[in-house]
Structures are given as structure tokens and as C-alpha cells.
Structure 1
Amino acid sequence: WAKLEAIVGNKDRIATLANDIVTHFKEREQVFEGKAMIVAMSRRIAADLYEEIVSLRPEWHSNDLDKGVLKVVMTTSSSDGPKLQKHHTTKAQRKALAQRLKDEDDPLKLVIVRDMWLTGFDAPCLNTMYIDKPMKDHNLMQAIARVNRVFKDKPGGLIVDYIGIATNLKKALGFYSESGGKGIPAETHEKAVDIMLEKLEVVRQLLHGFDYSGFFDAAVKDKLSLILRTEDFILNIEDGKSRFIKEVTLLGQAYALAKPDQATMDNAEEIAFFQAVKARLAKFETGGAGSGNGYDTVIKNIVDSAIASDQVIDIFSAAGMEKPELSILSEEFLKEIQGMKYKNVAIELLKKILNDEIKLRSKHNLTKSKSLMDMLNAAIRRYQNNLLTTAEIIEELIRIAKEINKADKRGEEMGLSEDELAFYDALETNDSAVKVLGNDQLRAIAREIADKVKKNATIDWTIKESVRARLMVIVRRILNKYGYPPDKQPAAIELVMKQAENLADVWSMA
């Protein structure tokens, strides 16, 4: 062991190792944000490697525990020299460093360890392990598992072998399989490159018949316009959006693992284009897929560089639209959408805007928002079933947008506050009640219910059965007072209580 440690810890070798790790990690960060662990053979080598790395990157060093990009995690004894002792950590300090490493936003990016944190340590944002220590069997499997934890769009962990663990890894994987382990816990780098090239071809085939070659040399405005045309082409393919997003996501994952192979360099611009298109398509998603910035973290930097610009670009102009001066659902803006060159994009844009606007209003008026959402979903279903043409669905979506605008003004026209209108809509769903009482009576009921419920709703009333029961009694008395049809009261009370619960969050923030 001593002879091997002396060879592994040779000064020139440590300098070469430090340079390679720094270069590789910085390149990997450009396409795949995450953190890394370096496994050293001994504490002496760990300390020497730290010095070599900070000589290359002085800004990574800090004497403060809560600062710095690079740290050594180990213990020392009184017999160790000052070079090792300065890296000594107590149990409390190691706990603090662990929290820093687990926090994806913390500047601590790399740690050097010998034995610590190789088993039982979970930091999902850890995606790279540099191994410079002989390891085998269970210990090796435990170590590589540190970088394979599920995290966001991480495709898997990357193991960089400096010591020659390939044979031991095969044996460990054989033991893993024999013990009943499922799946493939490790793939070679060459396999990742093959998968990347395979997925690249799949995405190219999805765009067969569409020429996007002009993207790479175009000005930024023209690049944005080409991205929109590509979206329009994809949206015209059956299930095109979901297929494109799925395949480009898989391509991005393979790219992240294959980097920095020459094949990734050769195809980086084209992959960046695909990711830019995917990001725009994902913006149309009404669920979680469209959240955040829309880019996979594994690829965002090459996307940024592909459409980087030092000039201000009018995105509306690139889309063939005049920039709207008024609100998102103004007449002017809706007319611009209706006149867009890319009709499939216009449909997706309208669907997304309307869905978001209705959800926003549902925080205040549950009943009306449900009615509008039902209207939107019905229109989309008719379009998907080929009962509406492209022009007709755009007309229908714009009509729904105008309904939303109209709904926003109803309270003012009826002399009701926003809260009162929400309860009015909950009561108005019953047609027979409207016929018996008329709008004036319903408005009076809505005003009184809004006033009484707001006064009697405590902070935690939604979880206190006694408070809920009291509110239901109050609502029932008001309905009886105004002659609300008895047989319709249970449904009305249920709707009023749901609306009250919906408003509870609004009231608590007021």
C-alpha cells in the first residue's frame, strides 16, 4: 500500500491530476450544473491535491467554513503536521459542510474525501465523482451510488476513473446483479455517446422535411423567427409536441453524460437549437412542464450561447406581431394573436394564456372559473376531434378570452364587490333559485353571506369543525331569511362553503 501511495501521491502526478479535474469540471459545468466529489487514496494526497487545485483556482479557497468552492472533509490527529491539521473537521463542522454540499445554490461545488461520505451520504445534486483510490466490491458500489441519486433532470452520475477500477467495477456489478439488483447501475462513456447520437437522429427525423440549417449563421432576430417556424411545423404533426419534448429531453440527458467527447462538440449547436425549440414548446404546457425557465439545466449554457446577443430583440416582432401596449387579454393583443403568421403557435399561445388567466381568477371566484375552464376544455376537445378548423378554434379561444374580460367587469356592473360576486355566482348556479328570487334578492343574499362569513372566519377555521359548523348554520339562516328554495339549499351551502374556503387564503393575505 505504501509503495502504491507514494506513486499515486507523486508531486508531478498530483499536479497533472489537479489540472485535469479542474478542466473537466469547468467544462462539465458549462452543460450540466451540479457538484462533484474527489476520492483520494490518503489524507496526505487529499491535502496535496487541495493545494494544487487552489493554486490553479485561488478563488475557490476560503478559510471560512461557510465560504469557498472547494473543501477537504477529513479528521486529523495531534501527530499530523500543520499541512493536514488545517483541514481537520469536527462532527459539527462536517454536518455544516454536508448541508452546504446538499444545497444546490450554495457555492461549495467540490469536496475531497478519503473515506468519509462514501457510504450513507445523500446529496442529490452531486453528479460527478473523481476516483483516485483503489476500491472494490461493496465499497465501490456504495461509493458510486453517491452520484446516482435522482435529482431534477439529472440523467445519472458520472464516474471519472484515475486509478483503474474498471475490472473491480465489473466484478461489483456482477455481485450486484447476482444479489437481485435491478436495472443497469452503470454504463460506459462510449455507450452514452452512442445513445446521444441515436437520439440526435431520432430528433432529426421528427423534423424531416423542415429546413432549419439557416439557424446557425442567422442573426438573433432571425433565429427567434426560425424557432417559431419550427414550433409551428412540430405542432402540425400528430402528437408532435409531446414526442419532440420527450426525445429532446432524452437527447439532453445523453449529451450531459457524453460530454466532453468530440461527438458532443461537433453536434453542440444543433442540440442547442433543438433545446431552444423544446424550451418554447414547454412554455405552452399548463402543468409543471412549463415551469421554471423551460430549459434543461444540462444544456442551458449552450442554448444561451446559441442565441446570445448584444442587442435588444423585439420577440413580438420576431413572431410577426405588433408589441401590445395594454393588458394580456386586451382587444389589441387578441387581434395580434389572431393575425399571427404561425397559426399552430397562435393556438398553443392562446390555450396557455387562457388557462393561466382562468387559474389566476379561480383563487377568487371558484364557480365562474370552473364555468370558464369547462368552456375552454370543451373548445379544445372539439378542435382535437377535428370538429373545428384552425381558424375556428382561434376564433373560439378569442371568444372565451372576451368572456373572461366580460366576467371581470360583472361585479362593477351589478354593484357587487369581488367577494360578493364570488358568492353570487355560487348561488346563481341553481336556475330555479334565480327564477324564484330574481337577481336583486340573490345580490342581497350574496352581500350578507360575504359580510357574515368574512366576520366569522377565523385564521384556522377551515380545519376546525366547530367553526365550519357555525358558518354553515349562519349561511342556512340567511338562505331561509330570503326564501331560498329549501330543496336546493344543501347544494348551495356546499358551494358557498367551498367558495369561502377558496377566499380564506385571499383574506389571510389581506
Structure 2
Amino acid sequence: MVGDSLDALFDEYFKDSTDDEKREIKKKYGVERAVREAPARIRWVCIDLLKHYREHIQPNGFKAMIVVGSRHAATVFKKTLDDLGAPPSEVVISGNHNDPAYLAQYTDKTRQKQVIQNFTKPLGADKEKNDPTAFLIVKDMLLTGFDAPIAQVMYIDRSLKDHTLMQAIARVNRTYKGKQAGFVVDYYGLSDHLTEALELFSSDDVEGTYHSLKDEIPKLKATHTRVASLFSGVKGEDIDDYVLFLKDEDIRQQFELAFKRFAKQMDVILPDVAAKPYIPDLKRWGKIQNAARNRYRDPGLNISDAGEKVRKLVDEHIISTGVDPKIPPVDLMAANFKESVEQIKSPESRASEIESAIKHHITVNLEEDPEYYKSLSLRLRDIIEKNAGKWDQQLELLLEMVSSIESEHKQAADDLGLSETEFAFYNILMAEVTLHAGEDAVSESVHDEIKTTSQDLVGMFDEATQIVDFFNKPDEIKRMKKAVKRAILDCSFGDKAIVSVVQDRFMELAKTKFA
């Protein structure tokens, strides 16, 4: 803004003032400052930055700094934001002895310390953990040395040069969970100053320091291409075709990494129109990711760190197709599990769903009886390998396994006259004895010893763990391990080679059963 254009803007902003008032304003502030700090201009700046903040920054829970040209301007920005119904803002400015009240209210050091401390907290209503302040308005203070990773954007409406400009920009480049980049929105015209500031540093120091939105578009295209190329071999168009393609864990990890990068880049661009062509694929791939997460019980498949804008788009699309992304997959033991499986289209997909549900069930319950659930895992693998490609046959065998999986454990324990807890210890001891002997089976007398020893030791564990905080008391654990050692060495199969293994495995199982 120079020459005639400044005078024209001055006359426009102060058209309601008298000639005497205009002369006084020019005398006090000068034409350029008067124009820049005119309430009408600041109002338009605030309207624009509010739109940017609400669309780009607020959805992901981040905050903003506003850098202005004078202490007076800071108060005008504050009042204007309040009048526009903006999220809460605070002013932090230095003070002088003779400051008028409208300035002095923002210069108290005790108050400033509290404001600054609160600003570093996440947005929210919880007064202990959060703070609702969205904007921190400053002139010179906090431009260097201030560390608030929650700040993602700086709106600049004043001249900054050299190191001060670089230091100011660095305020929004601090890393924070879910923060893909820091943003600077320039209302002053700092491009020349930025070029001069960057020239003070070596090319290695400044490479990659700042990018415009245009710089991000090629990155978006590249991340999109990676996901699309991964699915290039999928023949069908149904979501389930893609989910089956992701059955292999290595391929799932490749998809997860590629899709997360794409989603994060979309979050940087949105809601700019440049992102529009990619939104359909974002939604589709998001639905595929959700379906694969449920099918394979894979919690790693998520875009929780991609940003609220992206998550909202994906979730709304999934919900529109009749699926709630927050509802977990139906558990194997749920009464409606088989009914939910019947709703899946192809036999291959139904078999895949049951296989994944059984694997998840085994993983969740493994610590309850390691040897029993290990045997289930081997049984499942045998069904899958022997019936690969025979989906109807595989489906039938898997359904039979599901039907018996809940009752088998209790029935096996009952047949031996053991409780399910005793059965878990029995299984460990039996596994270690047969492994050490190099045999698949034991004699009847050894079997009886294993059974009796397991029952006796469970009784000892039950009594010992009545002691408060038993598993955090080394002396008590040592005493119990000695009891295990004596019990094993008193048996005909007793051998020091299996004592330490059984001790450790029994203690781990006891933590699950008795802690």
C-alpha cells in the first residue's frame, strides 16, 4: 500500500470522520498505520481469519496466534473477534506506567503468566486439563522462546524481519499429536521480508522451511497414487473384494501406511477445492479400512491421527452406508455371531470372518490356558491349510469348531475331574513333561501324578495369593517357587531340567488366575 492507494484507503476507512479528526489521526498515527489499524479493515481481517480458523484449524483442536502492529491494534482485534462471536481470545502485551485502562487491563504480569500457561493446554471445557482460549493476540511478546505446540497457525498483521520473522514462524512448527504442519497466514505482505530472512541462513538450514498450499498438491497426488496402485490387482468392485485382498497381514500393513499418509495429506489440503477430486477415494478407502479392521480384528487399522476433518468425512460416509464405525465386530461368543456371518455375501468372506473371529478369541483368551488355546490355533491352521480354496467345506468345518469352542474347555476339564483353573495348570505341566520326555503321551501313572500335582499346586496358589499384593512381594514369590520345585521333584518325572520352566509358567498363569 503506497502513495495514492494509501490516501484512498484512508479516506474510505475514515469517511465518517471530520477533516479535523482526519488530520489528528494522520498526525498521531501516520497514514499507513491508521489504515492498517482502522476498525473497518481489522474487521475484514478478523472475518477472514475466523473463516480460515474454523475450517482448517479448529476441527483438529488446535489454537492460533495473532501478531499485530501495536498494542492498540491488539485491543481492536480482541474487541472485533468478540463482536463477531469468535472462540475465546486473550491479549498479552507489554505495559507502560501511564497506560490508559483499555491497555493496562492486558499488561498485568500475574494475569499474563496464567493466560500463557492456560494457552498451552488443549482446547476443552475441563478447567484442570483444558483451556478454551483459541486465539492469543500479541505484538512483540511471545514471538521468540515461547513454546506452545498446540498452536498450529499464526496470523500476521505487522512487519517482521530477519531472525524475528523466522523465530515467530517457528512458534507454530512445534510437533504435536495429529499436527501435520504449521501454518502462517500473512495479512501484511511479508514475502519479501521472508526471502531476506531466509538469505541469512545457508540453503541446508532453510530447505523445506516453508511451503505454500500449492506445494502440497503434488504430495497429495503421490500419496493417492500409492494407495491406488496397491489395489490395482483387485478384480471386483465390492468392498468385500478389497477386504479379502487385505487378508495377508503384510499387505494390510502396506495399505495402512499408504492410506494414513494419504489421509494426513488430505487433512493438510482440506477444505480447499484442490482436495475435492480425492474425496470419493478417501471415503471409499476409509470404508475399506473400517471393514478390514472389523474383519481381521486389527486395531492398527485406523486414521485416529489424521485429523478431525478427515475422520468426520470418513465416518459420515460409513454411517451413510448403514454401518456405525464405533461399533466393534460381533464377538465369536455372541448369540448373534452366526446370524451376522450369514449376512456376508460369499462363502470365502464368511469363512474369512469366522477364521478371524476364532483367531481373535484365541488371542484374547490365550493367557487363561496357554496350552489349550495353542492347540486350538493349530487346529484352526490345519482346517485352513487343508481346505484352502474349498470355501464351502472350510466354512462348514469352521462353523463346527465355533459350535464346540465354548463347551470343549469345560467338558475336557470335567472329564478329568478338574476345575477349569486346575485344567490350565495341568495342561502346562503335561506339555512340559511330554516335551522333556520326547514323547506324545505318558503312562497312566505319570498322568495321575501330573493331575494330582496340578490340583495340589493350584490349592497352594489359591491360599498364597490371599496375601495382599502377593505378586509384588519377592519373598512370597520365592517361597511359592520353592513349593513348585519340591512338588515336581517329588514326582517320578521330576527333573531339574523342567523345574525352572514350570516355575515361571505357573507364576505367569497364577497372575492371570489369582491376581
Superposition TM-score tier, normalisation by shorter sequence? 0.7 to 0.9
Contact 1:74 1:89 in 2 (8 A): no
Match of 1:450 among 439, 454, 458: 458
Q: Which has the higher contact order (CA 8 A, sep 6+)?
A: 1
CA deviation after TM superposition for structure 1 residue 502, in Å: 4.1
Tell me the SS of whatever aligns to 1:15: helix
Q: Quick one: distance in 2 between partners of 1:142 and 1:47? A: 24
> Structure 2: which 5+ residue stretches go unaligned?
1-27
Q: Which residue of 1 aligns with 2:211?
A: 187
> Structure 1: which 5+ residue stretches go unaligned?
61-68, 213-225, 317-322
Q: Quick one: distance in 1 between partners of 2:197 and 2:379? A: 58
Q: Which residue of 1 aligns with 2:102?
A: 83
Query: In the TM superposition, what are the counterparts of 1:292-331 in structure 2 within 5 Å?
Result: 297-307=308-318, 309=320, 313=322, 328-329=332-333
Tell me whether 1:498 sits opposite 2:505 in the alignment: no
* Length-normalised TM-score, structure 2: 0.74
Contact 2:350 2:395 in 1 (8 A): yes
Match of 1:259 among 252, 257, 270: 270
- Report the AA paired with residue 360 of structure 2: D
Tell me whether 1:364 sits opposite 2:389 in the alignment: no
Q: Quick one: distance in 2 between partners of 1:395 and 1:41? A: 75
* Length-normalised TM-score, structure 1: 0.74
Q: Which residue of 1 aligns with 2:13?
A: none
Q: Which residue of 1 aligns with 2:91?
A: 72
Tell me whether 1:467 sits opposite 2:464 in the alignment: no
Match of 2:118 among 93, 97, 106: 97
Match of 2:223 among 167, 188, 199: 199
Does 263-272 or 21-30 show the bigger shift?
263-272
Q: Quick one: distance in 2 between partners of 1:174 and 1:9? A: 30
Q: Which residue of 2 aligns with 1:425?
A: 427
Tell me whether 1:109 sits opposite 2:134 in the alignment: yes
Tell me whether 1:51 sits opposite 2:79 in the alignment: yes
- Report the AA paired with residue 138 of structure 1: H
Tell me the SS of whatever aligns to 1:497: helix
Structure whose alpha-carbon radius of gyration is higher: 2
- Report the AA paired with residue 308 of structure 2: T
Contact 2:256 2:301 in 1 (8 A): no
Contact 1:284 1:290 in 2 (8 A): no
Tell me the SS of whatever aligns to 1:272: helix
Tell me the SS of whatever aligns to 1:147: coil
- Report the AA paired with residue 420 of structure 1: E
Once the two structures are superposed, residues 273-323 of structure 1 have per-residue CA deviations (whole angstroms, 9 ceiling, x without a partner) of 3333333334456665236869753402222443555xx94789xxxxxx9
Contact 2:178 2:306 in 1 (8 A): no
- Report the AA paired with residue 449 of structure 1: L
Contact 1:347 1:394 in 2 (8 A): yes
Tell me whether 1:337 sits opposite 2:341 in the alignment: yes
Instruction: Work out the percentage of aligned pairs sharing the same amino acid.
Output: 23
Match of 2:260 among 210, 230, 249: 249
Once the two structures are superposed, residues 31-65 of structure 1 have per-residue CA deviations (whole angstroms, 9 ceiling, x without a partner) of 6443333233333222221211121116x3xxxxx
Judged with a 3 Å threshold, the aligned counterparts in structure 2 of structure 1 residues 267 and 358 are, in CA distance, closer, same or farther, namely same
CA deviation after TM superposition for structure 1 residue 420, in Å: 3.0
CA deviation after TM superposition for structure 1 residue 20, in Å: 0.7
Tell me the SS of whatever aligns to 2:171: helix
Query: In the TM superposition, what are the counterparts of 1:200-219 in structure 2 within 5 Å?
Result: 200-204=224-228, 206=230
Tell me whether 1:16 sits opposite 2:18 in the alignment: no
Count of aligned residue pairs for this structure pair: 468
Q: Which residue of 2 aligns with 1:388?
A: 388
Tell me whether 1:278 sits opposite 2:302 in the alignment: no
Tell me the SS of whatever aligns to 1:435: coil
Match of 2:154 among 129, 137, 161: 129
Tell me whether 1:28 sits opposite 2:69 in the alignment: no
Contact 2:446 2:493 in 1 (8 A): no
